[in-house]
Each structure stands twice: as C-alpha cells, then as structure tokens.
Amino acid sequence: MKYKIGDMAKILGISPDLLRYYEKKGVVSPVKDKSNDYRYYDTRDTNFLVDCLFYKNFGFSIEETSELVRSCSIDEIAGRFLENETQLEESIRRQQLLLRRSQEYRRSIARIPGHLGRCSFDRRPACIYYINRRNQEFDTDPGLGRVTRQWLKYLPFSRRSFIVPMEALLSPDSGEEFLWGFSLSQEYAGLLGASAQPPVVALPDARCVYTVFSNPDSAFSPRFFGYALDFIRAQGLRLCGDVYGHLLISANESGPLAITPGTPQITGYFEAWLPVTEA
C-alpha cells in the first residue's frame, strides 16, 4: 500500500515538513510519481519514521534521530544513549528542584494572610546575598553586572532581597535607606555551586522577629517597620542588626488583603527578619 505525504503525516501525527526533512536526511525514500511529482510512502518508510519518533521521545533532536536511524552502529547508538542518560539525570534533578521550589513558594504566599502586619519569633535562615541597588539607584559597575547576570540564571531559586540598615530604622536623622539585591538560601547555594566570594557575602542564621507587610505598587520604605519595632520594645528586646527580607509577591489585590478592599491595585507583599537581643 502506498500513501501520499498528507496521508502519512496524518497517520503518524507529524507535519509534512518533518517528513520532507527526514527524506532530505535519507531516513525515508518515498517513490515519486513522475506524472504529478507526488511522493508515495510504503510500510518500510513507516518503520523508519516510527524509529525516528521512538528516538525523538527520548529527547534526541531531529538531527540526532535521523543519524541514529540511518548512520549509527549498535555501539554508536549505545554510546549516544549513555550520553543522553547523563542529560536526562541532570534534567530530572533540575525538575525535582523546581518542584520543590514551587512547593516552597506556594506555601510562603499561602502564609501571607496569617502573618500580615503581625510579629512572631523565628530564626532567620542562613543565606548568601549581594547588593546591586541602593534606594532607587543601581550600581553600574561591570563586575557587579556580571554577578547579576549569573544570579538571574539561578532564578527561581534566588530571591529578590533587601537590607535595611539598623541606623536607618533607629536614627531619625539618618534618612530612609534600603538596599536591594539577590539572595540564595545556604542549601540552594550549595546545590547550585554559588559561593560567598565578594561582592557576595554570607549571612548566618539568627534569632529574629519575623513579619509580613504590604504596600501598593510594590513601593518600599523603612518606615513600614514601626509596628515591628514597637513589638520588639514591648517584649523587652532591642534591634541588634540590619533587617533582611524578601519581596514575596506582587499581586493585583482587591480582596480583604488589599490596602483598599474592593479596589483592585497592584500590591507588594514583603517578609522581613529583624534580629533581636535582650535590651
């Protein structure tokens, strides 16, 4: 039985262009009708095409599948599969990490309602971080730019993080100051091979007061920590270091968590750790 290119494409669920590519690579050799230039495929062609689909679903490229079908010996095919298994293992590892990170992120935003505007005691997780923005100005140093480009590749495991100097919170004359950059938990830093080489620094875990706060348009200001400082003083404690935290999420909120309930508005939600000690 002979099949035209359109029929064969429908039978196998692939495009006519892919059939033409495999013909060009010598995988199949359809018979051409000289009277109308139509291509006709037989069951032998089908077997080669199914072999291509077989290899393709292991993750081999179209170019590689054509080579495996027409050009490779048994030993060469086994070698190609060994190489591919290494890539599959790395892909599985990456996907497992992404699943874990997705679950962590989903849980972190699910906790927002229970912690918004409230304070509790928690240990700040150890991490590594670097700063590339002071207030509204980015550092344009080329070396720092290279670090930023590398850390963008760490997304979504890296986080947009901030530091608020202790002096900016405790001294009314210091003015508002906040620093922004990226951070990685100590565990993810190890998994991704990131190290604390300058300008990256290590931040150890510490006893802290933890809180979540929000602001429309994802704006940010050290003044948002007034209620947390009041809580610290009420517990007979004092702030003993810079505040560290993350932007959790920016969302178009109109529900009970919105700044003005019922009015849709882009709102930023931040989590922060304020290190404390006995007063």
User: All domains of the chain, ordered by start, with CATH?
Assistant: 3-71 (1.10.1660.10), 111-278 (3.20.80)
Q: What is the number of other CB atoms lying within 10 angstroms of the CB of residue 10?
A: 12
Task: Identify the weakest region by mean pLDDT among 27-31, 37-41, 148-152, 257-261.
Answer: 257-261
Question: Has residue 260 got a pLDDT over 70?
Answer: no
Question: Has residue 157 got a pLDDT over 70?
Answer: yes
How does the average pLDDT of the chain come out, rounded? 90
What burial letters (b/e) apply to 34-54, b meaning 16+ CB within 10 Å? eeeeebbbeeebbebbeebee
pLDDT band at 118 (very low <50, low <70, confident <90, very high): very high
**pLDDT per position as a tens digit, 42-74:** 888 888 999 999 999 999 999 999 999 988 999
Can you give the pTM of this predicted structure?
Answer: 0.78
pLDDT top residue among 239 and 6: 239
The predicted pLDDT at position 255 comes to 60
Can you say how many angstroms the Cα of residue 47 is from the centroid of all Cα atoms in its chain? Answer: 41
Question: Has residue 34 got a pLDDT over 80?
Answer: no
**pLDDT per position as a tens digit, 178-223:** 899 999 999 999 999 999 999 999 999 999 999 999 887 656 677 7
Question: Strand pairing partners for 163?
Answer: 179, 244
Strand (E) positions, the chain?
Answer: 3-4, 31-32, 39-41, 119-124, 127-134, 137-138, 159-164, 179-185, 201-203, 206-216, 237-239, 243-253, 265-278
**Kind and range of the H or E element at 24?**
helix 16-24
Q: Is 131 helix (H, G, I), strand (E, B) or coil?
A: strand
pLDDT band at 267 (very low <50, low <70, confident <90, very high): confident
Q: What is the number of other CB atoms lying within 10 angstroms of the CB of residue 140?
A: 8
The predicted pLDDT at position 25 comes to 85
Residues 105, 112: Cα–Cα separation, whole Å: 11
pLDDT top residue among 8 and 1: 8
Strand (E) positions, 165-263?
Answer: 179-185, 201-203, 206-216, 237-239, 243-253
**pLDDT per position as a tens digit, 92-111:** 999 999 999 999 999 999 99
Residues 36, 270: Cα–Cα separation, whole Å: 68
What burial letters (b/e) apply to 257-276, b meaning 16+ CB within 10 Å? ebeeeeeeeebbbbbbbbbb
Question: Has residue 253 got a pLDDT over 90?
Answer: no
Handedness of CA 98, 102, 105, 111 (dihedral sign): negative
Which residues, 6 or more positions from 79, have their beta carbon under 8 angstroms from its beta carbon? none
Residues 103, 193: Cα–Cα separation, whole Å: 22
